[in-house]
Amino acid sequence: MMKAGVLTLSDKGSKGQREDRSGEIVQGILKGLGLAIERYEIIPDEKELIRDMLVTWSDELGLDLIVTTGGTGLSPRDVTPEATLAVVDKRVPGMEEVMRSRSLEKTPHAMISRAIVGVRKRTLIVNLPGSPAGARECLESIAPALPHALSKLGGDMSDCAPNT
């Protein structure tokens, strides 16, 4: 069974001043895809703290997937993409594009999302918006490709498309 972690970035949530509905939604979707939730944390919007958590979960815990929620917008405290970019080896722009495209169907504000998707070693890291609806829409938009992506990161060498 593939292992996942859910990391919510919220100053208020980390102090117990806000319920983390986005993190709950993300966990439910991931469990529905057959992933085991190995880690779940709520931490403040601090770039170094986020970066260190991503590295630990990837390198030391060997999680297959890390999904963050929050900190992807334009507010001064929104630093999740910068923390993620500091640790990934390569990006997965197709997933980023699909998430923004799906969100644009619901709100023009989606065009200011800076969420990224990237790979650190054998771990896929996905940034989602902090709103419950945005987190759900974005994760559901890439969910069909997640099992294949995680399989490939895990070393699956089979062809990606059947021979025709």
Structure confidence at residue 157 (pLDDT): 75
CB atoms within 10 A of CB 42: 20
The domain of 136 spans 3-152
Structure confidence at residue 158 (pLDDT): 74
Q: Is 67 left (phi over 0), alpha (psi -120 to 50) or beta?
A: beta
pLDDT of 62-117, one tens digit each? 999 999 999 999 999 999 999 999 999 999 999 999 999 999 999 999 999 999 99
In a domain, 42, yes or no: yes
Structure confidence at residue 164 (pLDDT): 54
In a domain, 45, yes or no: yes
Distance CA 123, CA 21 (A): 24
In a domain, 91, yes or no: yes
In a domain, 80, yes or no: yes
In a domain, 161, yes or no: no
CB atoms within 10 A of CB 158: 7
In a domain, 46, yes or no: yes
In a domain, 158, yes or no: no
Distance CA 29, CA 35 (A): 9
Q: CATH code at 72? A: 3.40.980.10
Structure confidence at residue 163 (pLDDT): 58
Residue 101 is encoded by which pair of tokens?
Answer: 């495209």
What total number of domains does the chain contain? 1
In a domain, 87, yes or no: yes
**Alpha-carbon Rg of the chain, whole angstroms?**
15
H-type alpha helices, 44-143:
47-55, 80-85, 93-104, 132-142
Residue 159 has pLDDT above 80, yes or no: no
* pTM summary value: 0.95
Averaged pLDDT for residues 52-70: 98
